[in-house]
Structure 1
Amino acid sequence: MSLCLSFRGRWKMGQKNSLGGSSQLPKQDYKALRERCLMEGRLFEDDSFPASLCSVGSGPLLRKLPPGLQWRRPPELHSNPQFYSADTKRLDLCQGVVGDCWFLAALQALTLHQDILSRVVPLNQNFTENYAGIFQFWFWHFGKWVPVVIDDRLPVNTAGQLVFVSSTYKNVFWGALLEKAYAKLSGSYEDLQRGQVSEALVDFTGGVTMTIKPAEAPGNLWDILTWATYSRTLIGCQTHSGKERVLENGLVGGHAYTLTGIRKVTCRHGPEYLVKLRNPWGKVEWKGDWSDSSGMWELLSPKEKILLLRKSNDGEFWMTLKDFKTHFMLLVICKLTPGLLSQDVGQKWTYTMREGRWEKGITAGGPMKSPRDTFWKNPQFLLSVWSLQEGRRFPMPCSVLVSLLQRPRHRHRNWKPHLAIGFYLFRLSKHYGDQRRLPSEFFWKNAPIRWPEAFLTEKEVSQELQLEPGTYLVVPCTSKAGQEAEFVLRVFSRKHIFHEIGCNSSAVFSKEIVDKNEGQDEFFTKLFEKCPEINAVQLQKVLNHMTWSSLGSAQPFFSLDACQGILALLDLNASGTVSIQEFRDLWKQLMLCQEVFHKHDSSHSGYLNRTQLQAAMRDAGIMLSNDVCQLMLIRYGGPNLQMDFGSFVHLMLRAEYMEDAFQNLTQDGKGIYLQKPEWLMMTLYS
């Protein structure tokens, strides 16, 4: 009880923010705390988020806890605890008794992007070297990255099993510790009970979310998903609202899922559009068409069936896009780079962020209701946009993305729910140069060119706009006058100026964002416009045209033999060609291969020796013995037993293909049985 009183008192005595809300996280120096614990020979105990029921919550979640709840550190739960497993091919996290499927669905999407995951979860933490019982994670919180420090005491039952998030690998604890850090950021574990996938995605990435209702989606939803899965996006979705219970079709009502992939397959009767989803529970799957037990798989070629179908109750499954649109209420796409605002490539983007607030009687003007209302009192932001093709008689519209993000109004995120928010957009005269707030008369005479169709009670509201070059006024507001909150307004475009008018002190952060693959994206996009399917010769041309920025002067050359081998691995329907969709899957893997190869090519020679190759494969989650590694150099390397980048890519893809095939064919994880035609296909053609 004393811990609870101390904890609550500490927050109560914390500083208030400018709108009277509770204080945010205490500032804790991770390195200093860790060094002090090591010097004193003790394990860290976090007084700001103690190992007690105060950190769990004070409501219904307490009734879900097992009797005899204990707090234990990972070294007390397993003889060989690991912080993180290099095997990232399987999404290995499972939900506990907290109803935070939205958090876990977003987290599983994060695991598909290793570089972004390592930004949130520093992967160099462990339970061995200089272990002090202290860990640190990073979240994007209201416009900036903030560290969250925790100790590693986790709630378990009397059998030593984790009560909240756990891993299918019982000695891996990064997911449980990350959930604890997010609970601390949110106020308590109970504050994770309700939420939206979009909220967690923003906190993990600082990206911009776009929400689509599948039933009302435009006809090009498949194209949207194709671009999204190829690009740097995280995708979550949610079934229709209701009690979180298993339905007859195997889906869970009112539940969040992760969209982990898409695939256009070739059936005997024509193409079929499939989406791949995962249940955060780590079990309970769809039972309809294209489920694990569906007979629809017999319509595919043997190779497609082997590589796509995995008969195991791991929570991951396929379904048609049509069924997805029927059974899912929301689709959330989180864009990580502004270059994803449109299909334009090889361009520079400008990003500007402004902070503001709605204050009762001053700037909380509410929505437009009638000409003589308080709407004009809302914060007003001037936006000027330019076309890249200046001087053209008929300039092209400018792609602009506007994101309105509201700050949590209380230390505990669920104690004060989000306000309903939105923004209006007005067109201004080219000659507008006054820096004073526009008076109410302006809004009597000018109608907005964009307004909220509905005010949304979400953390973020965003809109992609196509604007003619010129000057605009952005007015963010709440659904009712007098409601108080702080907000961040972000704008992405090719070229713009954005600032608040009638205000002396609103923070601004601007920077230019450049597409890292400027030029080469445009090259292969144009190639696929001319050739919907490309063969090995064309694939060789594409790969040898690319600029491999991480490889420096040692630019690789892909032989025709290597390209034929790569194409065979991608070509699921045995057509001898690959589509742009299949090439996009390859593109993701190429970026990972480039990063891993560059890391281990310490001499920048453009080659890996046996030791370097073994370490590189281990970093990619593929464990090779010394003998197997030597054989791989003989098979894929040169006469001097060194491997260049092109051969490394071929080996990586082949190793991943064979591992995926094994996982899909094995029933118990120990072995598989193949008929002779299947064995020949896998060993000879792939």
Structure 2
Amino acid sequence: MSLWPSFRGLWKPGQKDSMERSPQLPQQDYKALRERCLRDGCLFEDSSFPATLSSVGRGPLLQKLPASLQWRRPQELHSNPIFYSATANRLDLCQGLVGDCWFLAALQALTLQEDILSRVVPLNQSFTENYAGIFQFWFWHFGKWVPVVIDDRLPVNEAGQLVFVSSTYKNLFWGALLEKAYAKLSGSYEDLQNGQVSEALLDFTGGVTMTIKLAEAPGNLWDILTQATFGRTLIGCQTHTGNERVMENGLVDGHAYTVIGIRKVTCKHAPEYLVKLRNPWGKVEWKGDWSDSSRTWELLSPKEKIVLLKKKDDGEFWMTFKDFKAHFKLLVICKLTPGLLTHEVGQKWSYTMQEGRWEKGTTAGGPIKLQQARDTFWKNPQFLLSVWRPQEGKTFLMPCSVMVSLLQKPRHRHRNRKRHLAIGLFIFRVSKFYDDQRKLPQEFFLQNNPLSFPEVFLPEKEVSRELWLEPGTYLIVPCTAEACQESEFVLRVFSRKHVCYEIGSNSQVVFSKEIVDQTEGHDEIFTRLFEKTPEINAAQLQRILNHLTWSGLGSTQPLFSLDACQGILALLDLNASGTVSIQEFRDLWKQLMLYQAVFHKQDNNASGCLNWAQLRAAMKDAGLVLNDDVCLLMLIRYGGPKLQMDFVSFVHLMLRAEKMESVFQNLTQDGKGIYLQKPEWLMMTLYS
């Protein structure tokens, strides 16, 4: 299998002309279908992905099949079939005739995190209890988790051996059934040939994948790998381009592997850095230093050697970090999105997702090539991004970590029928306010150079950039390598605090645009207010807030009491002066615009108040996740007698909550607990 020569798309319905597609994957109700089969005493047969050669494909894969291909259910292949076993070594999956090592390498990485695996593979399915020959799997498909239903008829040869993915445990079938579900999602088994580890990792997690070219790897790559290994990421890698030929050193060219561990060991003379990998074939291993038969193991203590060395032809092996960088081309790290797992202390991220499209004649502007070519670049979709850092006890500008991901949507039902377009991201700093009802004009791109741009446009499903940006306003322009190329795409942005939306279009804004235009539009007013009084007190703050227009709240305008403004000022007043400066006020205003946006978004009945469910959703949108009980207590504490919370109370709650989190982070040493002295306890009590 070659990993790079063929680039594909998946599929999405509803487009015409050059993006015409075949009928969509059917929506099948797993529970209803299973109950019907149980009631009728029959086993499910999936007519949308039948047990025929049409599900295998129509290309070269047909030539590899055994002459007498049959389709059999697991109960026909083993006397005691098991869907999934927590005690079995889940890495013992082996690749079959399909050239989908990229899929299997990602799958093996997934098995190292069982809580993530269970999201893709519902582990409560079996061949005994309520068995009806039907199984269901879940994949992250361009912004949402989608179920894929299959029957359990699997292709086997004349001897009853699986011809595609199998397990070394002959009665274990979850891997083979998952491969079938992924083949159905992709169009056919044939469509699983040729791919990259990053694509499957994305479909398994909805995470953001980062690909590192090992020949150009940063000097701290070991530190990056260490952080990734212990940070609950999924890691794969790929060798240099080839045709899956086994080389003299035991590696396979043009092949994907799973990174399953790293280790710094103590040798007799110096430390050695080792990487553990697994070949999806379940056999064929590295033959160099630190391989199963290498003499280098004698450099370790007997105890460490016993722990690390397992002499089995199972496709698993160790090699030095130096050899790893020399013999592998790509390292793929999949970072999990905030919504997939529980939020960790100090690691709250905001997440926005926008959909867009490049359309010939309107929005398919192509890249910047020369100055004179920028007259088409500006036609690309444009997304305005406002970034700022949440309050952390200090109000000065610091770079913010921002991850931007661009996914191109499928252009055909069968992923191998149409190639991926080569895509990339341009990011510009916006130093002054523009009318966000219109796209930034051609002149902007003639006068401004991008902060970040693609060195090479990549024909991949996803491209991503990790950036450190100062708080401010930016423009993201996704584009294709050539003008007039058509496709749909998904843009995702992750940071601690941000707002991102498309300008010059009719698309829905995830967070209200007032965060940008009110901050920028009022900046001159703010400057005038502070000309004569460098610092303002609570009464002055009250007058300012009650005289400004809160256009994002509709007809219900908030009324800030003096007590509320004194509380707000106390949370912002870092030097105990009883006043705030213009910079502190600007930071407050940005926070208020975020709160206005999320409040308005959740106040869907325009009542001017939030109930418990709306409050919980608004706090989550603002980057603060609380469990249900705590959220209800907050509503009781800060809401009205009818358990409704108005905007002013919501502002007070959010500012206090973020301040309390900041205090906790400043006091804790390990993110788990704190020891409070009496003055600190009193301070936190007064904040609550």
What TM-score, normalized by structure 2, do the two folds share? 0.72
Matched, 1:68 2:65: no
CA spacing shift, 1:131–1:498, aligned 2, 3 Å: same
Q: Any idea what SS the aligned residue of 2:378 has? A: helix
1:270-669 correspondence runs (5 A):
270-337=270-337, 346-372=346-372, 373-389=375-391, 394-506=396-508, 508=510, 511=621
Q: Is the 8 Å Cα contact of residues 81 and 127 (structure 1) preserved in structure 2? A: yes
Give the conservation status (yes or no) of the 8 Å contact 1:389–1:396. no
CA distance in structure 2 between the aligned counterparts of 1:189 and 1:524, rounded to whole angstroms: 55
Q: Which residue of 1 aligns with 2:178?
A: 178
Letter in 2 for 1:451: F
Q: CA deviation at 1:458?
A: 0.6
**Range moving further from structure 2, 23-32 or 171-180:** 23-32
Q: Please tell me the residue identity of whatever aligns with 1:443.
A: F
CA–CA separation in structure 1 for the residues paired with 2:82 and 2:402: 44
Normalising by structure 1, report the TM-score: 0.72
Secondary structure of 1:108's counterpart equals: helix
Q: 2:189 maps to what in 1?
A: 189
Q: Hey, what's the Cα distance between the residues in 1 that align with 2:230 and 2:66?
A: 43
Q: Determine the C-alpha separation between the residues in 1 that align with 2:315 and 2:347.
A: 39
Question: C-alpha displacement at 1:215, in angstroms?
Answer: 2.0
Match of 1:672 in 2: none
8 Å CA contact retained: 2:378, 2:442: yes
Distance (whole Å) between structure 1 residues aligned to residue 458 and residue 13 of structure 2:
30
**CA displacement at 1:513 relative to structure 2:** 5.8
Letter in 2 for 1:421: I
Call closer, same or farther: CA 1:485–1:227 in 2, change over 3 Å.
same
Take 2:388 and 2:66, find their aligned partners in 1: how far apart are those partners? 60
Q: CA shift at 1:403, angstroms?
A: 0.2
SS at match of 1:324: helix
| 8 A contact 1:339–1:347 mirrored in 2 | no
| Structure-1 residue corresponding to 2:20 | 20
Residue deviations 1:435-481 (CA, integer Å, cap 9, x gap): 21112122122211111111000100000001111101100000001
Change (3 A) 1:353 1:86: same
Question: For each residue in 1:500-559, what CA deviation from the matched residue of structure 2 results, as whole angstroms up to 9, or x when unmatched?
Answer: 0011125759946669999999899967xxxxxxxxxxxxxx99989xxxxxxxxxxxxx
Q: State the match for 1:634 in structure 2.
A: none
Q: Indicate whether 1:44 and 2:27 are aligned.
A: no
Decide whether the 8 Å contact of 2:110 with 2:234 is kept in 1: yes
Structure 2: which 5+ runs fail to align?
1-9, 512-619, 628-660, 676-688
Kindly indicate whether the alpha-carbon contact (under 8 Å) linking 2:434 and 2:440 is maintained by their aligned counterparts in 1.
no
Which whole-Å CA distance do the structure 1 matches of 2:664 and 2:230 have between them? 12
Q: CA deviation at 1:419?
A: 0.3
2:126 counterpart residue number: 126
Amino acid at match of 2:15: N
The within-5 A match list for 1:107-118 is 107-118=107-118
Q: How far, CA to CA, are the matches of 1:514 and 1:237 in structure 2?
A: 35
The alignment's C-alpha RMSD in Å is 2.8
| Residue 259 of structure 2 corresponds to residue 256 of structure 1 | no
Distance in 2, matches of 1:30 and 1:523, equals 49
Distance 2:624 2:207 in 1: 16
Q: CA deviation at 1:298?
A: 1.1
Instruction: Count how many residue pairs are aligned between Structure 1 and Structure 2.
Output: 518
Q: Is the 8 A contact 1:352 1:511 kept in 2?
A: no
Secondary structure at the counterpart of residue 202 of structure 1 = helix
- Give the direction of change, closer, same or farther, for the CA distance of 1:429–1:149 in structure 2 (3 Å limit): same
Structure 1 letter corresponding to 2:135: F
Deviation for aligned residue 1:28: 0.6
Q: Distance in 2 between matches of 1:197 and 1:507?
A: 33
Pairwise CA distance, 1:255: 0.4
Q: Secondary structure at the match of 2:402?
A: strand
SS in 2 for 1:331: strand
CA 88–461 in structure 1, closer or farther in 2 if over 3 Å, else same: farther
Structure 2 counterpart of 1:218 = 218
Question: Secondary structure of 1:348's partner?
Answer: coil
Residue type of the alignment partner of 1:104: L
Q: Distance in 2 between matches of 1:522 and 1:270?
A: 38
Separation of aligned partners in 2, 1:545 and 1:84: 42
Structure with max Cα Rg: 2
How has the CA–CA distance of structure 1 residues 515 and 105 changed in structure 2, closer, same or farther, with 3 Å as cutoff?
A: farther
Structure 1 distance, partners of 2:435, 2:47, is: 53
Q: Conserved in 1, the CA contact under 8 Å of 2:360 and 2:485?
A: yes
Question: 1:143 matched to which residue of 2?
Answer: 143
Could you tell me which amino acid in structure 1 is paired with residue 414 of structure 2?
A: H
* Structure 1 contact 290–296 (Cα < 8 Å) conserved: yes
Name the SS for the 2:126 alignment partner.
coil
Q: Which residue of 1 aligns with 2:106?
A: 106
Q: Which stretch of structure 1 is more off in the superposition, 298-307 or 97-106? A: 298-307
Contact 2:664/2:674 (8 A) holds in 1: no
1:95 and 2:57 correspond? no
Secondary structure in structure 2 of the residue aligned to 1:365: coil
Matches of 1:354 and 1:121, distance apart in 2: 28
Partner of 1:584: none
Q: State whether residues 349 and 512 of structure 1, in contact with CA within 8 Å, keep that contact through their aligned partners in structure 2.
A: no
Q: CA deviation at 1:418?
A: 0.4
How big is each residue's C-alpha offset from its partner over 1:24-49, in whole Å with a ceiling of 9 and x where there is no partner? 31111111111111111111111110
Cα deviation, 1:58-107, whole Å, max 9, x if unaligned, reads 11000000110000000000000000011254511000000000000000
Q: Deviations over 1:392-447 (max 9, x none)?
A: 57411111000000111100001001000001111112433532111212212221
Alignment CA distance shift 1:305-1:158 (3 Å): same
Where 1:374 maps in the other structure, the secondary structure is helix
**2:198 is matched with which residue?**
198
Specify the SS of the correspondent of 1:218. Answer: coil
Q: Show the counterpart of 2:235.
A: 235
Paired with 1:303 and 1:420, the residues of 2 have a C-alpha distance of: 51
- In structure 2, the CA distance between the partners of 1:313 and 1:191, relative to structure 1 (3 Å rule), is same
1:266–1:272 contact (8 Å) kept in structure 2: yes
Cα distance in 1 for partners of 2:201, 2:332 equals 9
Q: Deviations over 1:276-317 (max 9, x none)?
A: 000000001000000011111111112111111000000000
The aligned counterpart of 1:660 is: none
Structure 1: segments with no counterpart, 5+ residues: 1-10, 528-541, 547-686
Deviation at 1:387, TM superposition (A): 2.0
Instruction: Find the counterpart in structure 2 of residue 676 from structure 1.
Output: none
Distance 1:520 1:113 in 2: 33
Shift in alpha-carbon separation, 1:74–1:67, aligned structure 2, 3 A: same
Between the aligned partners of 1:309 and 1:523, the Cα distance in structure 2 is 44
1:348-386 CA distances to partner (integer Å, 9 max, x unpaired)? 210000001011101111101234431111000000001
* Letter paired with 1:17: Q
Given the superposition, is the C-alpha separation of residues 290 and 508 from structure 1 closer, same or farther in structure 2, using an over 3 Å criterion?
same
Structure 1 residue 154 displacement after superposition: 0.3
Alpha carbons of structure 1 residues 526 and 478: separation in structure 2 relative to 1, 3 Å: same
Instruction: Give the fraction of aligned pairs with identical amino acids, expressed as a percent.
Output: 76
- Whichever residue aligns with residue 279 of structure 1, its letter is N
Q: State the one-letter code of the partner of 1:211.
A: T
SS at match of 2:215: helix
**Cα displacement (A) at 1:187:** 0.4
Query: Residue type of the partner of 2:383?
Result: F
Evaluate the alpha carbon distance shift between residue 116 and residue 80 of structure 1 in structure 2; reply closer, same or farther with a 3 A threshold: same
